[in-house]
Chain A
Amino acid sequence: MSTLIKYTANGATEIENAFVSVVDGEPVPQGADIIVSLGRIKAEGEALLASGVRVGVQIEPAEAVEDLAELLPRLALVAVAFPKFRDGRAYTSATLLRQRLGFNGEVRAVGDVLREQAYVMTRCGIDAFVPADGSSAAEWSRAAGHFRHVYQTAADGRTPAYAEPGRR
């Protein structure tokens, strides 16, 4: 099982990833928590969600996260995919999940997930990471929390510079 870094305001911790990613067309393993594609949740959502396991959905960059709106209250997590670290569409997906769709569950970055992007990912409301570069939780935490100030509002709810009491 792959390592998962969970990030909260108190820092990052490594935990076991309990979810199995199910490839489209392959059978769903019995009794395991699963992550399926958007297409599969649309086709088999009711059956999967009624099976008693926790269900997550993986959103690809070209997919509209809004399509999940009605299902979100029943999902354990949403995984946003970074096929390449340079593909920034998942930052919008994560932002919309938090700010527009009000999703409070786990938003997990999967794919080409590198420590150098920890800061922007965290600010977009991503709170779980499957790093592709072997980063430890401590390294991840340091990278994500590197900046003492931020200049703009974002999905993480941090106070922007203009609203800090010390702004002159």
Chain B
Amino acid sequence: MYRYDAIDKEFLTDRSNEFRHQVGRRLAGELSEDQFKPLRLMNGLYLQLHAYMLRVCIPYGTLNVAQVRRLAWIARTYDKGYGHFTTRQNIQFHWIKLRDAPDILDALAEVNLHAIQTSGNCIRNTTSDPRAGATAEEIDDPRVWSEAIRQWSTLHPEFSYLPRKFKIAVTASAKDRTAARVHDIGLALRRGRDGTLGFEVMVGGGMGRTPFIGQTIKEFLPATRLLSYLEAVLRVYNRAGRRDNIYKARIKILVSSLGAEEFGRQVEEEWAQIDAARADLPDTELARIRAAFIQPGLEVLPPVSDSYEAARAANPALARFARNNVSAHKAPGYAIVDVSLKAHDATPGDANSDQLEAIADLAERFSLGDIRVTHEQNLVLPHVKQSDLPALFEGLVAVGLATPNINLVSDIIACPGLDYCALANARAIPVAQSIAQRFLDADRAELVGELKIKISGCINACGHHHVGHIGILGVDKKGEEYYQLTLGGSGAEDASIGKILGPGLNADQVAPAVDRLVEVYLAERQGEERFLDTYRRIGMTPFKEAVYVDAH
């Protein structure tokens, strides 16, 4: 894991002091709310329906034990005892007082956490693979490049007042767990024919009211030229991106209006003029960052643990957990464990202080102190010995975190919705809960298999509904909450934008409709097809007919 040295620590102290000073000026009336707003946003502080919300950055979704314990303490001390993990691998606290914010940032800085650039029209936290450094699938460790981007983008002077927010994802496996194609820039690590590392660069993906899948503008960018190329992309965007309309200000609109080819040409032209020696990281620095991610402590183990195999055979609950939440690790005898934050009666992505502390303890005992956050609002313990899995499972059961539903119908992404958010048109959390309730039968959920449901409480699409296999969008129709269903979206390597199923539904019609969609899939599926595959093969009509049969 990357360790902050004295320079990183002093930087966070300076940032924290700066914000304390700015809050003081705001509370004294020296700054107007209009002047203060971008400053608090760049420190992750939003004004929501009921209170301030503080969004804490979790760089590329990686946490250590001390950090998780501190998040638990902050939730208990300054919030109502819980935090909400987001689709950007961050955590947010929804019940914060402005006057407490500087103290919270100090407490975060003590464990090398911060809220820098978790909001505002700047470069946001880089998304990466929660299995980085643990999966055998990866071409390279994407955290190396994510950390390089973190440093480069932190208070970048030229790119702190962009037309709109800017999100970058780095993925390194054929299976994309970062939603790279719906980021402003998606970077997919590739190995060139000569064995060198490079990136496929995709730009202009995004969701919101005009969703786009990112388009490739460079097939193979030599990895060592990453920062100069990012500089070129950001500079073209900073100059040419629209600033007259907030809804047309993202890079996706610029790429769409110019065409990806022309945008790519402008980037190349700009890139050719940048002094690589100034802009690109020296090899020594890349090597320094890389060294920080070499995982110490992995033991040489037999590929199969007999005690684990026996425990699994004896305990059906453990066996179910193993089927759904445990994946292969690159090291023999180890496993990657997904920890679901989607219990059927829970708010998707929420964890309370007790749970956070339990996760920290379990990670310390069983996962080399490493904890990851996924963009699907779950946690990952990436380095667990198979022989420790039974004990870990019991530990998770004890705090309600052993829900065996990863990638299943109840593993739902949902934004905070109208329960918290000032922008929302409709609630998202109760809808997620009603679907989870409907699929309580775990055998049936497993029979259905991978099914990604994503719910947004408004068109800003924080719940990624556009890329849900089933997407659910809350809309306001004459003061009433309605839900529009979309089918066929994907945020993974086979990215696509979902298509609208039909007229909007009431809140209590959503779960039954999902049930009917699932029944159509179960009746129609061939072989190993996922819901998404069946939809792509047979099209919208059978699904539509099943949901709206009563309307005929």
Contact = CB atoms under 8 A, between A and B. Distances in A.
A89 B18 contact: no
Nearest to B154: A151
Nearest to A124: B157
Contacts of B6: 166, 168
Interface string A83-95: 0011111011001
A152 B234 CA distance: 14
B273 A92 contact: no
B262 interface: no
Given A147-B11, A167-B7, A88 B273 contact: no
B157 A91 contact: yes
Nearest to B163: A88
Nearest to A91: B158
Interface stretch (A48-56, A71-79, A113-121): A113-121
Given A99-B275, A162-B151, A88 B238 contact: yes
A100 B282 CA distance: 21
B155 A119 contact: yes
Contacts, number: 107
Contacts of B15: 147
Q: Helix, strand, loop or mixed for chain A's interface?
A: loop
A108 interface: no
B279 A153 contact: yes
Interface in B157-205: 157-163
A91 B160 contact: yes
Given A88-B238, A92-B238, A116-B39, A150 B160 contact: no
Given A92-B158, A154-B158, A149 B238 contact: no
A163 B277 CA distance: 13
A16 interface: no
A164 interface: yes
Interface in A24-42: none
A156 B10 CA distance: 20
Given A116-B39, A161-B7, A147 B155 contact: yes
B5 A88 contact: no
Contacts of A161: 7-8, 11, 151
Contact of B285 (A86, A88, A149, A162): A162
Contacts of A119: 155, 157
B10 A87 contact: no
Nearest to B38: A86
Contacts of A152: 151-154, 156-157, 227
B394 interface: no
B514 to A, nearest CB: 42
A6 interface: no
B552 interface: no
B275 A154 contact: no
Contacts of B312: none
A92 B152 contact: no
A164 to B, nearest CB: 6
A114 B36 CA distance: 11
A124 B156 CA distance: 10
A28 B165 CA distance: 42
Interface in B337-368: none
Contacts of A92: 158, 235, 238-239
B155 A150 contact: yes
Contacts of B152: 151-152
A154 B159 CA distance: 11
A152 B11 CA distance: 13
Given A120-B158, A148-B10, 15 more contacts: A87-B243, A88-B158, A88-B160, A88-B161, A88-B238, A91-B161, A100-B273, A116-B31, A116-B35, A147-B15, A147-B155, A151-B156, A161-B11, A162-B281, A166-B6
30 contacts: A85-B35, A85-B161, A86-B121, A88-B121, A88-B161, A88-B163, A88-B238, A89-B239, A89-B243, A91-B159, A91-B160, A91-B161, A95-B157, A114-B35, A116-B35, A119-B155, A121-B157, A147-B15, A148-B11, A149-B7, A152-B154, A152-B156, A153-B278, A155-B157, A161-B11, A162-B151, A162-B281, A166-B7, A168-B5, A168-B6
Interface of B: 5-8, 10-11, 14-15, 17-18, 22, 31, 35, 38-39, 121, 151-163, 227, 235, 238-239, 243, 273, 275, 278-279, 281-282, 285, 288
Ranked nearest first, the 5 interchain pairs of A and B with the lowest CB-CB distance are: A88-B161, A123-B157, A168-B5, A162-B285, A120-B157
